[in-house]
Amino acid sequence: MIRFDLEGRGIRDPRVIEAFRKVPRESFVRAGDEAAAYGDFPLPIGCGQTISQPYIVALMTEACRLGGSETVLDVGTGSGYQAAILAELVEKVVTIERIPELHERARKRLEGYENVTCLLGDGGLGWEAESPYDAIVVAAQTPKIPPALLRQLKIGGRLIIPVGDRFSQELLRVTRSDENSWDREFLCGVRFVPLISEAG
C-alpha cells in the first residue's frame, strides 16, 4: 500500500508515510474485512458509511501541511482511521461524528491515543470550544463550505474539503489568508458520502 498506492501516486511527506506505517488499518475495518484493509479502495464500516481509500486519506493529510505542533479538527470520524493518522502527526486531534454507533466504536478503537478527543455531534458546525484550528479535514461531501469551518480556522490555517454534488466533488484546500479572506486550491476529483448537517 505504501509503496504503490501512496509513494507511487505522489505522496512525498516522510512524516505522513511514517504515520501510515504506524497505524494498523486492519483495526479500523469491519471484522472479516481485514484481508482487504490495505487495498486502495473505500470499505463499508456500517450505517451506510465508509472508511476512505488510503490514497485519499494520505492526500488530505499531506495537504494539511503538518509540522507537529498543530491542533486539527477531523469532521466525520467514521472508522477513526483518519483521526489515528493525524494523531501520529500533530499535538491534538478533535474528531466529530454524527452517528452514535460509529462514534462509540471509533472512541473505543482510539482509546490508546491520548491526543485524540472523540465527539458526537454535527461537524458541519465545527467545534467552537477547541477552535481556532491549524487544519480542518472534512471526509464528507457538501455543496457549499460550511461558514463555521471557515471561521474556526486560524489565519494561515488549511481546510481540506470535498465540495460538489452527491456524485462528484472537487477536493479543495482552502487557506485562510487573513481575517476575511480565504484562498481556494483544487486538489483532485473525489466522491465522498454526504455531510448531513444543519449547515446545509
Give me the active site residues, please.
52
Query: What character string, x for contact with ligand SAH (CB under 6 A) and - otherwise, covers 83-102?
Result: -------------xxxx--x
Residue 181 CB, shortest distance to ligand SAH, in Å, is 25
Whole-angstrom Cα distance, residue 121 to residue 95? 10
Whole-angstrom Cα distance, residue 57 to residue 71? 18
Whole-angstrom Cα distance, residue 131 to residue 159? 13
Q: Does 109 bind ligand SAH (CB under 6 A)?
A: no
- Binding segment for ligand SAH (CB under 6 A), chosen from 12-20, 78-86, 153-161, 181-189, is 78-86
Q: Does 146 bind ligand SAH (CB under 6 A)?
A: no
Q: Does 117 bind ligand SAH (CB under 6 A)?
A: no
Q: Does 124 bind ligand SAH (CB under 6 A)?
A: yes
**With contact defined as beta carbons under 8 Å apart, do 176 and 182 qualify?**
yes
Q: Which is nearer to ligand SAH, 155 or 188 (CB)?
A: 188
Does residue 23 come out as left (phi exceeding 0), alpha (psi in the -120 to 50 range) or beta? beta
Q: Does 145 bind ligand SAH (CB under 6 A)?
A: no
Q: At what angle do helices 54-63 and 14-22 cross, to 10 degrees?
A: 140
- 16 three-state secondary structure: helix
- Binding segment for ligand SAH (CB under 6 A), chosen from 17-25, 76-84, 151-159, 169-177, is 76-84
